[in-house]
Structure 1
Amino acid sequence: MQLHYRELGQGKPLLILHGLFGTSDNWQTLAKRWAETGHRVIVADLRNHGRSPHASEHTYDVMSADVLELFDALQLQDVTLLGHSMGGKVAMRFALDHPERLARLVVVDIAPSFSDMRHQDEILAGLHAVDLGKLQTRQQADEALAQHIPQFSIRQFLLKNLYRLDDNSFAWRQNLDALTMHIADIGAAITSVQPFLKQALFIRGGLSDYITADDKLHSIPALFPNSQVETIPDAGHWVHAENPDRVFELVHRFMQS
């Protein structure tokens, strides 16, 4: 699948993969900053998200294959691959499948272990509660979401996916049916017989439980023996939005190593 992407700057390549219900737009501000430090930064929309094509399949194997197609199309080699949440698992899958294409790996607030996706039930319920056929304003969409999602910041994040068609009706950029059908696949563990031996940086939010103490001791070093885990104490799962300066600094320093 040919993924939609945006490109900034020149230099050593950095490819960024967003998380579930996100888009490449979520990383644009940090992408610009890294591009200004002498990097060719590519931010991609994963399948069934943003402006990339929709498909019925949504597993880490097919998403890794999508990323490989993008690597080949852009003739990328010695890349720093960064992924957040679901995008972090895609990045891990790709690193284990194609280590020769990477210089290093950055994973933001996700571990290779199984993720219980029941915490997404209310988000999916909220998204399905928005009746696109009757929707006239974004405020109406927010009100429908609020019946299931009380957090304003999460609703605003989700509403970034809502856009108008040529006939002035609304649509979601993400493939909601496919993501709902494959929500268990999105929580699947990343496994491999062979570990990724190059350097890897895991960034976790101190207020998040997506990377546990057990992950730091077992699941991460088992697959990524040359890894380090850095914690940003005052951030939750959306680390890059809550403390972008610290994420910028950690990744910049890691890419210079």
Structure 2
Amino acid sequence: MKTKMIVLLIAAALTVAAALEPLRAADAPGNGTGDSSAAMSAAYGKRWNPAEQARIEADIRANRMAAAVLRLPSVKPGTDVTVEQLSHDFLLGANCFLFGDLKNPEKDKRYAETFGTLFNAVTVPFYWRTLEPEQGKPRYTADSPYEYRRPPTDPVVAYMESRGVNINGHAIIYGMRRWAHPTWMPEDRKAMEPLFEKHVKELAERYAGRVQRWDVVNESIDQANRGFMPDDYTFKTFVWADKYFPSTVRFNSNDNKPT
């Protein structure tokens, strides 16, 4: 007699639902009425109602669930079998810009623990301006000088690895001078170019096989209004990334519409 078991696999819903349980103590609002901190607008609160929740649940069942048959020939009939979903291909994530920076050990712990429970993906800040504020002295290690919303990258990457979280590095090159370029960057296109390539190479060498995705360039579509950059830097940065990073790394280009 063959033992068959039907398992419903919910790509994101099972993971999210399970992860929300330890967060109940935070009294997160389930609707607009319970939102005492006014985090949601009144209009948004009205949308979050039983009918909308029912629609979401129906769509999850229609679009994110599938039936699977597991045959377990070595298991005797009548045996209780437990199946635990450990991972899935649907990436649900957030940035971790305040990692370790909530000024409260319990809050820092809860913040960190959302990655690997609620979230299976993370965006780690690699903004060059604060990653290497002093030339030749990058802020990789835990003992690096403090920068608000820019935690040292080594301990963050190590923690996310330990939790099995898919990591996105944001961003290697960003043309917005206010957020991206180190203040020591020369005002010379030709002099900047080898520094850009060196930066790409260093990140590739340090995080090879550890960061699965990189935003190679960020918001390059409106560069004329953003600052001085090397000629054709978007194309060149992708060429350098392709040269130095492992072939398994996925490259992204984050862009927005010019304003």
> Fold match, TM over 0.5?
no
> TM-score when scaled to structure 2?
0.29
Q: Which structure: larger Rg?
A: 2
Q: Which gives a bigger RCO, structure 1 or 2 (Cα 8 Å, sep 6+)? A: 1
In terms of fraction of residues, the more helix-rich structure is: 1
> TM-score when scaled to structure 1?
0.29
